[in-house]
Amino acid sequence: MTRKHYEKFAEYLLQGKEGEAVKLVDKLLTEHPRLYLFEDIITPAMYYIGVLWEKNEISVADEHLATAGCDFVISRLDAGVYENNFKSEKRKKIILLGAEEEQHYLGLKMVAGFYREKGWRVRYLGPNLPLDHALSQIKDWQPDVIGLSAALSYRLPVVKQMTEAFSQLSWSPGIIIGGRIAKKYDLSNLETGQVRVVKGLAELEQVHNVWKAGVVDETS
């Protein structure tokens, strides 16, 4: 049943039928939380599109079309979860960025939506951020947590380098590493008391619940 939904969603994206994709998402939203849409529909649909692309069953242009449609659907899902729904300046802060040269960002964008919904203040810096630029923004805003995303195995050295640099920040922010790289490879050697490797949004929900204990009220 679920498999059919994500395949159907992928089909709509590949056919450029954004309206149909939106209708399907809206229908599913009446029965499921946003997290389900992110984790069990959109993500597997994009992975499925990756498989079709790898097998040459779709073209690069098809895959770009699907990516653009998917980006639109995620933005639409985010609409309504505005920062100013939550007034307190005491809210926790997270900065999200993609490792230098990394172009895959849809997952990171979902993480931004995830935290906005939780009432956090979010700075989503998108993909491909060089370390020095990331550091100047981070030092300026002093987030409680930094989220780093990467997809490709050859990003491992830069992920390690960025994680080490973030670990040395004076106020010891939490650091979460995610993305395809975290799902496919064992990054446990990067984990410390400060650094967590998170394989997906369901796991992020668990990590979040643990961190939430003892933390200021996020929504007041």
Residues that bind ligand B12 (CB under 6 A): 38-39, 43, 46-47, 49-51, 53-54, 63-64, 67, 101-108, 110-111, 147-149, 151-153, 176, 178-180, 183, 198, 200-201, 204
Comparison of 68 and 216: residue with beta carbon closer to ligand B12: 68
Closest distance to ligand B12 from the beta carbon of 112 (Å):
9
Query: To the nearest whole angstrom, how small is the minimum distance from the Cβ of residue 27 to ligand B12?
Result: 21
Residue whose CB is less far from ligand B12, 16 or 50: 50
Q: What is the nearest approach in angstroms of ligand B12 to the Cβ of residue 111?
A: 5
| Neighbour count for residue 113 (Cβ, 10 Å) | 22
Residue 42's Cβ-count burial label (10 Å; 0-12, 13-18, 19+) is: buried
Q: How far is the CB of 87 from ligand B12 (least distance, A)?
A: 26
Q: Of 135 and 152, which CB lies nearer to ligand B12 in the complex structure?
A: 152
